Structure 1
Amino acid sequence: MSGFEVAGVVLGSIPLLISALEHYSNGVSTIKSMKKYEPVFEYIHATFVTNLTIYRNSLEELLSPLALSDLHLYRLLEEKDEAAWEEPDLVSCLKQRLEHSYLPFKSSLKQLNKKVILFGRKLQLDEGFRPPWVSPDGSIDTKQRENFFKNPINRIRGGFNSEKYQQALASVEADINRISKLTSTTIALEPIRLHRKRNTETQYWATFQEYVERLYQSFFARWSTQCSCGCLHEANLRLELRDRKTEQAITFKFLFSLESNTNTPRQPWIWRTVEIEPSGDLAPSQASKTKSIPRVVIQAPSEVQSAWKPCVSTAPAIRDLCKALESSQPQASCIGMLHEVAFKHHIHSLKSPHPQVRNLNRTTLQDILDANAGRGFDIKEKHVPPTRHHPLTLASAVLQLHDTPWLRESWTMQDVFFLNHDQIPLLCNQPYVSKSFTPLADPLPPSPHPNKSKQSIIIKSPIIFALGVALLQLSHAKPINAFATPDDLDAQGNRTFWTDYMIADRLADGLLVRELPNFANATRRCIHCNFEGTVYSLNDEGFRERFYQGVVVPLQQDYDYAQAPLGPE
Structure 2
Amino acid sequence: MSGIEVAGLVLGAIPLLIAALEHYEGGLDSARSFFKWRGGLSGMIQALWYQHTSYVQSIQLLLEPIATEQERQIMLDDATHILWKSTEMSEALQNRLGNAYQVYMHTVQRIEDIVKAIAEKLNIQGANKASTLVNQKGLEAMVLAHPPMKKNGNCVFQFKQSVNFNMSRRKVRRLLDELKSCNMRLDSFANKAEKLEEPFKADMKPKFTAPLITIEENAAMLYKAIYRTWTEHKAAIRQKFSSVKDDASRFGISLFRSSLTPEWLDVEIRLVETPPLNQQRRPTVRISAPVSPGTAPPSIPQAPYPDISSLQIVDNLCSIIQTPGHPWMGFCLDGDECLRGTYPTKSRASGHLQTAVTLEDLFLASYQFSKEDLYCLCVTLSSSLIQLSHTPWLCQTWDKSDIVFLRRKDNSGLSVSISHPYLKREHSTTGQTSAGEDSYPKNDCPKLLALGVLLVEIVSCRPVESMRRPEDLGPDANANSLTDFLVVRRWIQEQKDSGNLTLGFYSAISHCLKSFADPTSSLLNEDVRMTVEERVLAPLQQEMRILFG
Greater share of helix: 1
TM-score, scaled relative to structure 1: 0.47
